Structure 1
Amino acid sequence: MTESTSTPARLQNTSYIVNKNGADQLVNILQRRPDGQVYVHYDGFDKRLDEWIPGTSLKPVNESARKRRRGTPSPTPTESETQPDPLMTEEEFDIKHHKQITAQRNFDKVNFGQWRIKTWYFSPYPLTDSELEDSTGLPGGSASTSKIPGVNRATVRSHGRTSDLLAGGLTRSHLSGEKSTLWVCDRCFKYMAEGAAWEMHIKHCDRRHPPGRKVYQRGAHIIWEVDGAKDKLYCQNLSLFGKLFIDVKTLFFDCDNFLFYILTDADSQRDHVLGFFSKEKISYDDYNLACIIVLPPYQRKGYGMLMIEFSYEVSRRGGKIGTPERPLSDLGLRSYLTYWVATLIRFFRRLLSVLPPDRPTITSSGRLPDLTGVLPPPSEDANSRKKRAKGWDGETPDSNSTFTTPNGLDDTIAAMRTVLTVSNPDGSATSHVVVRSTLAEIALATNLRIEDAAFALNECGLLGSTLEGVVGITREMVEAVAKERNVKRMCLDPAHVMLT
Structure 2
Amino acid sequence: MPVSNKLKVEEGVYGITESPNIERIRFGEYELNTWYGSTVYFAQDKTTLGYKYANLDKELQSRRKVPKVEKEIWLEKLFVCDNCFKYTDIKETFQDHVLKCELNSKQLGKIVYRENNLTIRKVCGAKHKLFTQNLCLFTKLYLDNKSVFFGVENFDFYIVYDNVIQKPMGFFSKEKLSLDRNNLACILIFPPYQRKHLGTLLISFSYELSKVEHLISGPEKPLSPFGLIGYLRYWTTVIVRVFIYGQLREFTTVSMSTLSTEVGMRQDDIETTLKYMNVLVKKEDGDDKIYIKKDLLRQWAKDNNITEIPILERKYLLI
- Please give the range of the TM-score, normalised by the shorter of the 2 chains: 0.7 to 0.9
What is aligned with 2:58?
Answer: none
The separation in 2 between residues aligned to 1:227 and 1:188, in whole angstroms, is 14
Quick one: distance in 1 between partners of 2:238 and 2:257?
15
Q: Does 1:191 align with 2:107?
A: no
Structure-2 change in CA distance of 1:434 and 1:111 (3 Å): closer
Say if 2:43 is the partner of 1:128.
no
Residue 276 (structure 1) aligns with: 171
Q: Is the 8 A contact 2:7 2:15 kept in 1?
A: no
- Which residue of 2 is the match for residue 258 of structure 1? 155
CA separation of 1:293/1:130 partners in 2, compared to 1, >3 Å: closer, same or farther?
closer
TM-score (norm 2): 0.83
Assess if the C-alpha contact under 8 Å between 1:209 and 1:272 holds in 2.
Answer: no
The aligned amino acid for 1:459 is Y
Q: Distance in 1 between matches of 2:197 and 2:28?
A: 22
For 1:490 and 1:309, how far apart are their aligned partners in 2? 9
Instruction: Identify which of 252, 265, 270 aligns with 1:448.
Output: 265
Does residue 1:173 correspond to 2:68, yes or no? no
The answer on 1:481 being equivalent to 2:300 is: yes
The answer as to whether partners of 1:239 and 1:251 remain within 8 angstroms in 2 is yes
Equivalent residues, number: 296
CA contact (8 A) 2:256 2:267 kept: yes
Matched letter for residue 316 of structure 1: K
Partner residue of 1:406? none
Give the whole-Å Cα distance in 2 for the aligned partners of 1:434 and 1:449. Answer: 20
- Alpha-carbon deviations, 1:433-474, whole Å to 9, x = none? 455421121111111000000000011011146799875435
Give yes or no for contact 1:210–1:262 (8 Å, CA) kept in 2: no
1:483 Cα deviation after fit: 2.7
Match of 2:209 in 1: 314
**C-alpha RMSD over aligned residues:** 2.9
Does the 8 Å CA contact 2:253/2:290 hold for their aligned counterparts?
Answer: no
Q: State the percentage of identical aligned residues.
A: 34
Q: Decide whether aligned partners of structure 1 residues 319 and 147 sit closer, same or farther in structure 2, where only a CA change above 3 A counts.
A: farther
Q: Is the 8 A contact 1:108 1:180 kept in 2?
A: yes
- Going from structure 1 to structure 2, the CA distance change for 1:99 and 1:254 (only over 3 Å counts) comes to closer
**Which range moves more in the overlay, 215-224 or 433-442?**
433-442
Q: Give the one of 298, 313, 316 matched to 1:493.
A: 313
Q: Deviations over 1:315-364 (max 9, x none)?
A: 1111111111111111110110111111100000135xxxxxxxxxxxxx
Letter in 1 for 2:49: T
> Residue 265 and residue 451 in structure 1: after superposition, are their counterparts in 2 closer, same or farther (change >3 A)?
same
Q: CA, structure 1 residues 106+466, in 2 after alignment: closer, same or farther (shift >3 Å)? A: closer
- Could you tell me which runs of 5 or more consecutive residues in structure 2 were left unpaired when the two chains were aligned: 43-47, 54-62
CA deviation after TM superposition for structure 1 residue 266, in Å: 1.9
Q: What residue in structure 2 maps to residue 301 of structure 1?
A: 196
What's the offset of the Cα at 1:200? 1.1
Give the Å deviation of 1:129. Answer: 7.7
**Structure 1 runs not aligned, ≥5 long:** 1-91, 133-141, 149-170, 352-408, 418-432
Change (3 A) 1:343 1:172: same
TM-score, normalised relative to structure 1: 0.55
Structure 1 residues 442 and 143 mapped into 2: Cα distance closer, same or farther (>3 Å)?
A: farther
From 18, 26, 34, give the equivalent of 1:103.
18
Q: Secondary structure at the match of 1:183?
A: strand
**In 1, Cα distance between the equivalents of 2:21 and 2:208?**
37
Q: Distance between the aligned counterparts of 2:84 and 2:20, measured in 1?
A: 23
Q: For residue 462 of structure 1, what is the amino acid of its counterpart?
A: V
Shift of 1:101: 4.2
Q: Which residue of 1 aligns with 2:109?
A: 212
Q: Per the alignment, in what secondary structure is the counterpart of residue 271 of structure 2? A: helix
Conserved? CA contact 1:110–1:117, under 8 Å: yes
CA contact (8 A) 1:280 1:289 kept: yes
3-state SS in 2 of match to 1:338: helix
Distance 1:101 1:474 in 2: 45
Task: Give 1:490 shift.
Answer: 2.8
Q: Aligned AA for 2:257? A: A
Q: CA deviation at 1:487?
A: 3.1
